[in-house]
A and B are shown apart, each in its own frame.
Chain A
Amino acid sequence: MNRVAVVGVGNTAFAARHADKTFPRLAYESVKAALEDAGAQKEDVESAVYAIYNDFFEHCAMPELHIHYLLGIARKPSVRITCGGATGGYAMRAAFAEVASGMHDVVMVVGVEKVGDMNTFDMIKSITYAGDPFFESQLGGSAAGSYSAPIRFHMERYGTTEEDIARVVVKNKGNARNNPDAQSPMEITVEDVMKSPMIIYPLKILDHCLSSEGAATVILASEEAAKRFKKPVWITGVGASTESGRQAERDDVGDSLFPAVKAAADRAYAMAGIKDPTEALQVAEVYDSFSGVEICLYEEFGFCPRGEGLRFLTDGGAAMGGSLPVNPSGGLIGGEHAIGATGVYQVAEVVRQIRGEAGARQVPDVKRGLTQSMGGARGAYSVSLVLEG
């Protein structure tokens, strides 16, 4: 397998709605920024992978087709990945494979999402259309319902409270204040979260991820091609995992609350030669779809022992200035969740951290970082990447 470098990153600002921009325009702006960042021309791009989650959001069943030609790369290959919240992660993996295999030297991953043309109710309903069509979807649920169960298990097993999970919101919306592209920078308290309306126990509205419009592009290059572009950041670990799309159907989980997340991270660590992630990693951008999820994820990633995710948070390990800051960008709760773009934007953010270009959200001396995105009922898909300077 050939080495694969990230040589350019770019993204739009994120907002609940960019009414002044269509989805091809959002994609174009992120592509233009990434090409400029790499010092590359569109003619350098040999192949494109599109990360676009949901046809209902874009109001088009093949949105990628209506971007590709307008990016000026017609008759070059394109493919679209859609895997729920893991769309961006799986798109990164697909593009990685195109370069690692030697098939192409320069491949770009374009993640974009439009969502504000629908009302929020229809948006949530369209996400449930991804649920098991034969049984579970007939109930009429929501993504939050599937994620509340592992959070409830964490509360039950380890004594985690509603106030405790709200601390993730305080951290991530607070971090977003350092990110000029973030949608929801806020200085808030646990009490503010507790006072916001309950949606599905124990999740209040402020415990939920954002719904964003925006785009992110990452340009990958082979080792040889990377010499033509900006200082490379290497993708040294790629791990992915997919399991049942039903909410409670999981085989051999042990004490894991998100077994697909653990499987994907372990695979990425093995590929990158990481034995102890707390020693190897200096930053992580991960999928805080709901506040309490992030606490569970620390344990799946091995950032702390099983059952000590809450302590890792309250001791400040995941905070800016902590031993392993998690979601300096603000994550999905403070930064953005333009669903298909998220896993791509996470890579852009970790690349900036490794280059030392993360501005006010810069973590000192980042040599290696982790990304993770997941999708499907209760994290049925998960993809993790390890990036190194």
Chain B
Amino acid sequence: MMADPRFDPGFEKDGVFILPDRWKIDYQCASGELSKFYKELKENARLMGTKCPSCGITYFWPRSWCHRCYEDCEWVEMSGKGVVPMFTRVEISLNDLQTEVPYIQGGVLLDGAAYPAISFIRGEFSEMENGMRVRAEFLPAEERTGRIRDFFFVPDK
């Protein structure tokens, strides 16, 4: 159990009295109508998108309704292959979800999808170029948690 700063003594610094504090909030986030995406990712290593039955546009990340047509979408499985229109390399960890740096992130436009989705890309930064083709790889089943950190993209040569 980490020390709780809310009970730490206050102290004076440069003429100002400092009171340590912390906000700590835990959640059990209900994924609602998006549940199938996370379940398929965790249990079957599948990337699920959605398709509008009216205009035919495929969304990945999935959405349950089409913002153009106001119709409910249908689930479709994505191939996991696509192109990288843009990428960058993160040199310094700015978030405690990411402790291993540097890492590459980029937008991945999955085949058939309307928009790029931000994801991790594993590859040699100097050998990457915009428009390169990539394919999804998944963490082993025992390591998958149902979050989008469960997969990453590698060059599809």
Contacts and interface: CB of A to CB of B under 8 A. Distances in A.
Contacts of B96: 121, 125, 140
B95 interface: yes
B122 interface: no
Contacts of B149: 138-140
B23 A135 contact: no
A43 interface: no
A288 to B, nearest CB: 19
A59 interface: yes
Contacts of A199: 90-92, 94
Nearest to A249: B115
A201 B89 contact: yes
Interface residues of B, number: 35
A32 B110 CA distance: 55
A149 B86 contact: yes
Interface in A196-212: 197-202
Given A135-B117, A247-B118, A201 B107 contact: no
A353 interface: no
Contacts of A19: 13-14, 16, 18
B23 A248 contact: no
B94 to A, nearest CB: 4
Contacts of B18: 19
B56 to A, nearest CB: 16
Given A121-B94, A125-B95, A144-B94, A246 B61 contact: yes
B71 interface: no
A339 to B, nearest CB: 16
Contacts of A202: 88
Nearest to B20: A117
A153 B18 CA distance: 45
A124 B88 contact: no
Interface string B140-157: 000000011100000000
B16 A200 contact: no
A56 B23 CA distance: 9
Interface string B87-103: 01111101111100000
Contacts of A59: 21, 23
B124 to A, nearest CB: 14
A139 B130 CA distance: 21
Interface in A263-295: none
Contact of A20 (B15, B34, B92, B97): B15
Nearest to B15: A20
B75 to A, nearest CB: 15
Interface residues of A, number: 36
B90 A200 contact: yes
A169 B116 CA distance: 30
A44 interface: no
Contacts of B97: 138-140
Interface in A55-71: 56, 59
Contacts of A135: 61, 117-118, 148
A139 B119 contact: yes
Contacts of A367: none
B107 A140 contact: no
A134 B146 CA distance: 11
Contact of A145 (B13, B15, B31, B105): B105
B100 to A, nearest CB: 11
Interface in B22-62: 23, 29, 31, 34, 61
Contact of A248 (B98, B116, B147): B116
A142 B29 CA distance: 22
Nearest to A153: B86
Interface in B93-137: 94-98, 105, 107, 115-120, 130
Pick the most buried of B61, B91, B107, B118: most chain A CB atoms within 10 A of its CB: B118
A139 B148 contact: yes
Given A56-B23, A134-B61, A247 B107 contact: yes
6 contacts: A135-B61, A139-B119, A141-B105, A141-B118, A200-B91, A247-B107
Given A136-B148, A141-B95, 19 more contacts: A19-B14, A19-B16, A56-B23, A125-B96, A132-B61, A133-B29, A134-B61, A139-B98, A139-B120, A140-B95, A140-B98, A142-B95, A144-B94, A153-B86, A199-B92, A200-B88, A200-B89, A200-B91, A248-B85
- Shortest Cβ-Cβ A-B pairs, 10 listed: A140-B97, A140-B95, A248-B116, A248-B107, A142-B94, A140-B98, A138-B147, A19-B16, A249-B115, A135-B61
Interface of A: 19-20, 56, 59, 121, 124-125, 128, 132-136, 138-142, 144-145, 148-149, 152-153, 156, 197-202, 246-250
